[in-house]
Amino acid sequence: MFICIAIHEFSRFAQFSRSAAFQAGATSAGSSAQDPIDTVGDLAFLRPGTDALRSIATPPRSVARSTALVKAGIKSLVSRLKGKVLVVIGGTTGIGFSAARAFVEAGARVVVVGRDPDNVTLAQKSLGASARAIAGDATHPKTAPKAIQAARKAFGGFHGLYHVAGGSGRRKGDGPLHELTDEGWDYTLNLNLTSMFHSNRAAVRQFLKQGGGGTVLNMGSVLGWSPSPEYFATHGYATTKAAIVGLTKSAAAYYAKDSIRFNVLAPALVDTPMSERAQSDDAIMEFIRTKQPLDGGRIGQPGDLDSAAVYLMSDESRFVTGQVLAVDGGWCVSEGQY
């Protein structure tokens, strides 16, 4: 916002200066000790009793400083995570991979973890020298600690963890409560909730050990509090996503004194391998058109969450913890038409 305003105002100043100088026949090589414009911070004010045309025709001292600030601001847009070393659990495909790529573009160095060795190889090639991709099962208690230590060894630090790993247990028996099997329940909780428990515990242990705080971002879902019984009645999955909010908020409250932040990013339906069932169903996609009406009514894309993830992993959100940010295309405020 500041950058846009500064560029706009500087452009207006330049245009008006040229016009004023032409009309007044004024020329100036720069300001002097008698500069008729006072500056306070980055704001410029005419001194009382000065000629407006002569004053505006003389560039104030703040212009050079404002220009420098604008240039620095533009540069900061691509270095919001400079110096950060981040771990993304579930970062080789879909939302996690898109976020990892955005983190690298914003100046971070990352370690991404995924189950499929082929996807791990592809992620490493795509992310380049600023990343390390390793294979691992997020439900295993040693995977997250291994990734964190890999980050410290490769890049010399660890500042944040983004837990994206998870998925549907529908094929294992998740569904409406009266149909939900024991296997479906156990599988879904292990995949979505226990995996997050392992990664969050590993992260907070390392943060406490090294001091200086840190940040944890967890992947939730609007289904944790905004159900859709017609098409998305997997009650085990909804339970895990509601529990993720509970654990995140409890941890945020407990560790705030240590400057360790916990937040949740909650999408609705996004174009990922997990949503292939929904994407192949014309009735569901028509429902999504009205349930997620933003941007013409569509399914979300992994990149739709990137900016929010960068913000919540950066120092820009240093005063934000225990929050749930829904990036849902309007899901939570729209009825959806069947």
3-state secondary structure 63-100: HHHHHHHHHHHHHHHCCCCCCCEEEEECCCCHHHHHHH
Q: Any idea which of 52-56, 100-104, 232-236 has the lowest mean pLDDT?
A: 52-56
pLDDT at 281: 93
At position 240, the amino acid (one-letter code) is T
Which of the residues 162, 187, 237, 255 is marked catalytic?
237
List phi, psi (to 5°) of 280.
-90, 0
Q: Please tell me whether the overall predicted TM-score, pTM, comes out greater than 0.85 for this model.
A: no
d(CA 3, CA 161): 29
d(CA 241, CA 263): 13
Buried b (16+ CB within 10 A) or exposed e, 300-318: bebebbbebbbbbbbeebe
* More confident: 274 or 189: 189
The model's pLDDT over 115-132, given as tens digits with 9 standing for 90+, comes to 999 999 999 999 999 999
pLDDT at 221: 98
d(CA 170, CA 167): 9
Q: Residue 206: pLDDT above 70? A: yes
Active site residue 237: yes
pLDDT at 43: 37
Q: Any idea which of 205-209, 218-222, 273-277 has the lowest mean pLDDT?
A: 273-277
pLDDT at 62: 47
Q: Nearest CA to 152 among 140, 161, 141? A: 161
pLDDT at 64: 53
Q: What is the residue-averaged pLDDT of the chain?
A: 84
Asked if residue 113 lies in contact with residue 99, where contact means CB atoms within 8 angstroms, the answer is no
The model's pLDDT over 26-71, given as tens digits with 9 standing for 90+, comes to 333 343 334 433 333 333 333 444 444 333 344 445 445 544 544 4
pLDDT at 3: 43
Per-residue pLDDT, averaged over 220-242, amounts to 97
Instruction: Supply the DSSP string of 180-247, one letter for each residue.
Output: --HHHHHHHHIIIIIHHHHHHHHHHHHHHHH-S-EEEEEE--GGGTS--TTT---HHHHHHHHHHHHH
Band the pLDDT of 273: cuts 50, 70, 90.
confident
* More confident: 153 or 47: 153
Question: Which tokens belong to 112?
Answer: 């991404």
Percent of all residues in the chain with a pLDDT value above 70, rounded to a whole number: 77
Q: Residue 328: pLDDT above 60? A: yes
Band the pLDDT of 185: cuts 50, 70, 90.
very high
pLDDT at 76: 53
